[in-house]
Amino acid sequence: MLSAGLCVSLLAVSCALWPPAVRAAACEPVRIPLCRSMPWNMTKMPNHLHHSTQDNAVLAIEQFEGLLGTGCSPDLLFFLCAMYAPICTIDFQHEPIKPCKAVCERAKSGCEPVMKRYNHSWPDSLACSELPLYDRGVCISPEAIVKADGPDPYLQDPSRCNPESSPDFPMDPNNFHCQGPNGDRCKCKKVKMGQNTYVNNNYNYVIRARVREVRNRGLEPTAVVDVKEVLKSSLVNIPKETQMLYYSSSCLCPPLTAGEEYLIMGYENEERSRLLLIDSSIAQKWRDKMRRKVKKWDQALQASPAHSRRSRH
């Protein structure tokens, strides 16, 4: 009979002779956009849901992005990333570490009622009963990870970036992540509404509209509004009916709240007959005196040298 030590040695040699596809995959950088804010940056595939690549995992995690946008649980993003992009360390490369059962239960208790309102149920593949207890196995939880001073990197506040989340599934993956090119959370630029801004920005359209809903699904975030009054239009015909306003980014700037009536100034895409909202657009709660101001500003715009030069070109 072979000694235990010799068996281990032979096993190690035989594993080294296996082709790369058979050996356990090594750690790889996290590439799932939603999970880049986690307190780990290395993961391992296949994950706990048996996705062989991160590209497959990205497609699968998208079904939860509408739920993330509701902010139903501060543990949901951590839990999902621990399942879809599990932490990978040198000590635990053979088997990815699972999230703790308590993390799953907290996420489920906060979000399952929201899911049920829209005829969704907590997936069997994310069953909490299959996960280890904190004191009886190896698992990760937010409270167990030592972080540097400052705000928790895995906690996101959707209301800061998406003031009116749609219940639809899925939503745009960049919205909940809410980070700019430098890794900062979305922060809408404050545009002071006044004559100088109106003249300098030369908005294509100005409308009074009531917001029905804000949608941030797919790759084109939009606001659905009922147009009450058209104070200015340049390139696109704007009837007094329900219109779609297209945001230029998932940060949803300027922010709009469903049920509120606004004075909205923005730009038009003539080729696609679209009304656009960009960072320099204006959305202010409607006041009747605004109508008179816009007429005055429009007169100033028509008389401005800059407008005359634009008109000649």
Taking only the tens place, the pLDDT of each residue in 243-267 is 999 887 667 888 999 999 999 999 9
Task: DSSP for 223-240, please give it.
Answer: EEEEEEEEEE-SSS---S
Residue 308 corresponds to which tokens in the numbers above?
């005359």
pLDDT digits (tens, 9 = 90+) for 12-58: 333 333 333 333 457 899 999 999 888 898 999 999 988 889 988 98
| Contact between residue 263 and residue 251 where contact means Cβ atoms under 8 Å apart | no
Reported pTM: 0.44
The yes-or-no verdict on residue 171 having pLDDT over 60 is no
Q: Is residue 187 part of a domain?
A: no
Please tell me the distance from the alpha carbon of residue 177 to that of residue 69, in angstroms, as a whole number: 9
In sequence order, the β-bridge partners of residue 275 are 245, 268
Query: How far apart are alpha carbons 42 and 87 in whole angstroms?
Result: 6
Domain that holds residue 97: 28-130
Give 87's strand partners.
43
pLDDT tens-digit readout, 217-242: 544 678 999 999 999 998 888 999 99
Find the helix packing angle between 289-303 and 305-312, rounded to 10°. 70
Instruction: State how many domains the chain has.
Output: 2
Residues 153, 37 contacting (CB under 8 angstroms): yes
Count CA within 13 A, CB hemisphere, residue 16.
Answer: 6
Same domain, yes or no: 297 and 205: yes
164, part of any domain: no
Question: Letter for the amino acid at 66?
Answer: G
Give the domain-ending residue among 130, 164, 183.
130
Tell me how far apart the alpha carbons of residues 114 and 167 are, in angstroms, rounded to a whole number: 9
Instruction: Kindly indicate the confidence band of residue 270, based on its pLDDT and cuts at 50, 70 and 90.
Output: confident
pLDDT at 217: 56
pLDDT above 70 coverage of the chain, percent: 71
Query: Distance (Å, rounded) from C-alpha 257 to C-alpha 213?
Result: 7
- Please state the rounded mean pLDDT for residues 299-307: 76
Average pLDDT over residues 292-312: 75
Buried residues in 181-215 as b, exposed as e (16+ CB within 10 A)? eeeeebebeebebebeebbebebbbbbbbebebbb
Q: Examine the fold and report which residue of 110, 130, 150 is the final residue of a domain before the chain moves on.
A: 130
